[in-house]
C-alpha cells in the first residue's frame, strides 16, 4: 500500500485538563501517513483519483477549530475516525504532538494506527 503524508500540520484547538487551558486555544502538531493506492492516479496523471491532501489538511484544521477535548488521546482517536470515514482511507498513522506540555520536552503526545493495511 502506498502512503500519502502530511507532516508538521499546525492545528489550533482547545485541549487540556487544567482550568487555564479550557479558556485558551493551543497549537497541536499533526503528522499523518495515509494509506492510498496511488497507481490509478499516476497511470492517467488524474488528480481526481489522487487523495486530496489539501482537502485532508483543511478537514484536520476545521476539526481542530470545532474540537474541545481534555485529552490528546481523545483528539487523536476522533480525528482518525473522521478521516477514515470521510475520505475512505483504508489505513492511517496519526502522530499528535502537544508542544510545551512538559517543560523538559519539546513536545509530548500520542501516535496511533487505525484501519487495515
pLDDT digits (tens, 9 = 90+) for 43-102: 999 999 999 999 999 999 999 999 999 999 999 999 999 999 999 999 999 999 999 888
Mean pLDDT of 7-25: 94
CATH topology of domain 2-115: GTP Cyclohydrolase I, domain 2 (3.30.1130)
Give residue 117's pLDDT: 85
Mean pLDDT of 37-43: 97
What is the enclosing helix (H) or strand (E) of 53? helix 53-66
Catalytic machinery residues: 98
Q: Is the pLDDT of residue 41 over 90?
A: yes
Residue spans per domain, the chain: 2-115
Q: From the DSSP assignment, how many helices (H) and strands (E) are in the chain?
A: 4, 5
Mean pLDDT of 38-47: 97
Contact 35, 13 (CB under 8 A): no
pTM of the model: 0.94
Give residue 32's pLDDT: 98
Give residue 112's pLDDT: 98
Positions of E strands within 16-59 = 26-36
Give residue 115's pLDDT: 95
Give residue 103's pLDDT: 86
Give the DSSP letter of residue 45.
Answer: T
Positions of E strands within 1-117 = 2-15, 26-36, 68-69, 91-99, 107-115
Amino acid at each position: 500500500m502506498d502512503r500519502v503524508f502530511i507532516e508538521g500540520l499546525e492545528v489550533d484547538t482547545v485541549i487540556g485538563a487544567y482550568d487555564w487551558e479550557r479558556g485558551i486555544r493551543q497549537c497541536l502538531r499533526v503528522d499523518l501517513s495515509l494509506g492510498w493506492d496511488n497507481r490509478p492516479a499516476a497511470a492517467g496523471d488524474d488528480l481526481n483519483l489522487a487523495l486530496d491532501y489539501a482537502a485532508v489538511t483543511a478537514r484536520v484544521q476545521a476539526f481542530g477549530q470545532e474540537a474541545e477535548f481534555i485529552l490528546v488521546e481523545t483528539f487523536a482517536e476522533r480525528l482518525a475516525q473522521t478521516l477514515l470515514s470521510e475520505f475512505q482511507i483504508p489505513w492511517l498513522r496519526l502522530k499528535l504532538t502537544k508542544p510545551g506540555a512538559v517543560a523538559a520536552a519539546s513536545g509530548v503526545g500520542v501516535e496511533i494506527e487505525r484501519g487495515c493495511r
